[in-house]
Amino acid sequence: MSTVPYANYEVKKNLKPKGLVGLSEKLIDQHWSLYEGYVNNVNLLDKMVWECLQEGRLLQTPPFSELERRLGFEYNGMILHEYYFGALAAGIPEPGKSSKLAQRFAKDFGSFENWKRQFSEIGKMRGIGWVTTTMDPSTQRLINFWVTDHQLGNVSSFIPIVVMDVWEHAYILDYGAKAGGRTTYIESYLQNLNWEMIEKRMALADQSKVWPRDLTTTVA
């Protein structure tokens, strides 16, 4: 546990995938270095904000305001990459239609294939960002979202289950900028999903407790 009053995150080296199908080691190495940059920037910006606080340099000053605006971008850049890399592994087959996991997707999307189709089509949309399948902890419903950059489109308290990076750096080295490159990358991403990890995330999300949004309290 950190003993300093600001962020002191470390790169989660155990999450770096190897031996993926259709995603080269060179691509992963390059992509991983960007993740390392987000970890470093989170630590740096958080320390700078803390220093502003200690020195009394708040009061809507431009340096403080810009640091605060960047925090969400850097934090989400770090965290989304950890969800992304942490669920990539070669050789783990898709869940069968009768499996508990596939049935869970079918419950909210009509079928596992419907989920995969919608998830993929969102990923093909123009723009840079992420595609996420998240769970609403108040209803345990799964929903697919587009996230612009890293921080625009993340729904408060919803829990990430499947996270796909569709910034160009995630695929351009292997698939280029040509039409269809992102589509082929998405196919490779799905081929390398660690479904055992997805199942574990789903189970943990089912256990999560959040303050119900319609709950009120009476003050005596």
β-bridge pairing 129-136 and 141-148: antiparallel
SS3 category, 32:
helix
* Token pair recorded at residue 165: 């990076």
Three-state DSSP at 163 gives strand
Q: Where is 148: in which H helix or E strand?
A: strand 141-148
* Joined tokens for residue 97: 């239609």
pLDDT the model gives residue 86: 98
Q: What is the pLDDT of residue 215?
A: 65
Could you tell me if 198 and 101 are in contact, meaning their C-beta atoms sit under 8 angstroms apart?
Answer: yes
Q: Give the C-alpha separation, 115 to 121, whole Å.
A: 10
pLDDT score for 5: 81
**Residue in 163, 130, 135 with CA at minimum distance from that of residue 147:** 130
For residue 35, CA distances in Å to 84, 137, 169, 220 come to 10, 27, 11, 49
Instruction: Give me the pLDDT at residue 53, please.
Output: 80
pLDDT of residue 140: 93
* pLDDT for the residue numbered 177: 87
pLDDT per residue, tens digit, the chain (220 aa), is 556 688 899 999 999 999 999 999 999 999 999 999 999 999 999 998 888 888 776 666 777 788 888 999 999 999 999 999 999 999 999 999 999 999 999 999 999 999 999 999 999 999 999 999 999 998 999 999 999 999 999 898 999 999 999 999 999 999 998 879 999 999 999 999 999 999 999 999 999 877 666 666 554 4
Would you call 194 exposed, middle or buried from its count of C-beta atoms within 10 A (0-12, 13-18, 19+)? middle
Q: How far is C-alpha 74 from the geometric centre of its chain's CA atoms?
A: 12
Determine the distance from the C-alpha atom of residue 168 to the mean position of all C-alpha atoms in its chain, rounded to a whole number: 16
Question: Which pLDDT does position 220 carry in this prediction?
Answer: 44
**How far, CA to CA in Å, does 38 sit from each of 35, 51, 168?**
5, 20, 16
User: Could you count the other beta carbons within 10 Å of the beta carbon of residue 76?
Assistant: 20
Q: Name the pTM for this structure.
A: 0.92
